[in-house]
Chain A
Amino acid sequence: MKKSNRLIVGTALGLAAIAVAIDHTQHRLPDPIAAEQEQSDMTEDESPCGMAAEESSPCSMDSDDSDSSPCGLGD
């Protein structure tokens, strides 16, 4: 039973890894300099939680909330 459990979990995680690899390669990879720039842009202005005060809220639902935080998105 333990061996079959290992096989099941290993297969599931392997499939997940393949899915992540496919997703990653499907998106155009920016050159390293642009990537670095984009990442810093993202962390400063567009965190999951709508960190940017002047930006739309985390949930992108209420745009007039200047106090929005990451967390609309949540969790």
Chain B
Amino acid sequence: MNTAIQKIKTDKLIVLLVLFSILSISLLLQYEFNLKQALLFLVGISFGLILMHAMFGFTGGWRMFIRSRHSIGVRAQILLVILSSILFFPIVGGVFSDITSHAALGQVGLSVVIGAFLFGIGMQLGGGCGSGTLFTVGQGQTDMLITISFFIIGATLGSYHLPWWLSLPNIGKVSLISELGWFPALAVQLMVLIVLYRFVSVLEIKQHKSLQNFSLQQKNENFLEQLIHGPWPIWWGVIGLTLFGLVTLLMAGYPWSITFAFGLWGAKIWSALGGDVASWAYWSGGYPAKALNQSVLADITSVMNFGIILGAMLAAALAGKYAPEGKLKSKRVLTAVIGGLLLGYGARLAFGCNIGALLGGIASGSLHGWLWLVAAFSGGIVGVKIRVWMKFDKPYGATR
């Protein structure tokens, strides 16, 4: 891939502003809450930095594979799930009695199928997934501000309708770790993931007669310079996301999640505008009610999301890529609106996004994560076709 190193023009003003913000918010969180809240904010910063420097996105990886069978993005995602599963299964399975961590379980049923399918379409139209939307907002992409706004609206609407969707046919929550034991479940899961990895590799080889190698990505003689300014090879992203995913599981007590916060932000805004959100079934009990009635800074998911945006902003400024040029066209505004709504509504119905349901769900042994993957990828295929139909992308054959 790219081996040429260009002179990087760091956006020093943005770097200073972001560093000041990170320091201020960290101190505020420690003072108002506790050290853990501040550290989880810094974990969010790390996620943002990794996602941005490695350009680790699910949406683009899926689109490349669907359109041209280039599988490097999809293989990186599979590797991330494999490594995370190896680390998460024994912890969630209770091997370490001193550690209390819980799986990202969601009920396996029609709501996941429909929600993830809508999410998959939304990814391609909106231009990002849960993590992708956050880090591209941090990068300063103005169109993604529209996507995230409607992501929030969709998630809020989804929380209003969720009781009805949950009443649709389902078999409840299924934990592979509870059903099979952590080791057999891990062995089965790894076998499936390895077969999947091999399958996408074979499809790429069949199409292109060769397989793009991770090690052939960006090379820079100066390691420190590449570490700070990027771009990173995608496998650095895989390692970084795996390690900080583990830190999140250990510190928060559950896998990394993103979209609960979007619904919370929307519910708080609607409440501030006079809406009676507290009467909605979803927000009337348990953790959602508590989160609604306390500061948004008390919610770990929200704090980590703020961190991701700032971390990506820092990385973009260090790389001289903050607020890229680009004129916003009306057609792009339309897809950002529709995509954002589908992302938010779908994520609420499907018990999560690509992070909470796909990565967190599968890596912690929840069957709903696998169902989410199949349904969202199917939605992704539809979304890619819609992009071609809307002339955002050339027809498949034209790319080869």
Contact = CB atoms under 8 A, between A and B. Distances in A.
Contacts of A68: 105, 173
A10 B299 CA distance: 24
Nearest to A43: B253
Contacts, number: 192
Nearest to B293: A27
B106 A71 contact: yes
B163 A61 contact: yes
A73 B102 CA distance: 13
Interface in B280-338: 281-282, 284-291, 293-301, 306, 309, 322-327
A69 B105 contact: yes
Interface stretch (B193-201, B235-243, B255-263): B255-263
Contacts of A71: 102-106, 254-255, 257, 351-352, 356-357, 360-361, 364, 366
A69 B178 CA distance: 13
A54 interface: no
For the complex of A and B, the 8 pairs showing the least CB-CB separation, nearest first, are A75-B356, A75-B352, A70-B254, A71-B104, A60-B286, A74-B352, A69-B105, A60-B285
Interface stretch (B33-41, B50-58, B215-223): B33-41
Contacts of A40: 34
Given A20-B297, A51-B102, A46 B352 contact: no
Contacts of B33: 35, 39
B140 interface: yes
B104 A6 contact: no
Given A20-B296, A35-B32, A39-B33, A73 B287 contact: yes
Interface in B343-376: 347-348, 350-353, 355-357, 360-361, 364, 366
Contacts of A18: none
Contacts of B284: 60
A71 B272 CA distance: 27
A23 to B, nearest CB: 5
Given A39-B33, A48-B257, A65-B172, A1 B327 contact: yes
B301 A48 contact: yes
Contact of B287 (A1, A22, A47): A47
Interface string A3-33: 0011011001100000110111001010010
Contact of B145 (A8, A46, A50, A73): A8
A5 B140 contact: yes
Interface size class on chain B is 35 or more
B64 interface: no
17 contacts: A5-B140, A9-B137, A13-B309, A27-B294, A47-B287, A48-B299, A59-B166, A59-B286, A62-B166, A67-B173, A70-B102, A70-B103, A71-B356, A72-B105, A72-B351, A73-B288, A74-B352
B189 interface: no
B378 interface: no
Contact of B286 (A29, A36, A43, A56): A56
Nearest to B347: A75
Given A1-B327, A23-B272, 20 more contacts: A1-B326, A2-B323, A22-B272, A23-B268, A29-B32, A39-B34, A39-B37, A46-B286, A47-B253, A48-B300, A50-B287, A56-B285, A59-B351, A60-B289, A69-B364, A71-B106, A74-B106, A75-B351, A75-B352, A75-B353
A67 B347 contact: no
A61 B298 CA distance: 23
B124 interface: no
Q: Which has the most chain B C-beta neighbours within 10 Å: A48, A51, A60, A73?
A: A73
A42 B299 CA distance: 10
A69 B163 contact: no
A46 B291 CA distance: 10
B130 interface: yes
A56 to B, nearest CB: 5
B347 A74 contact: yes
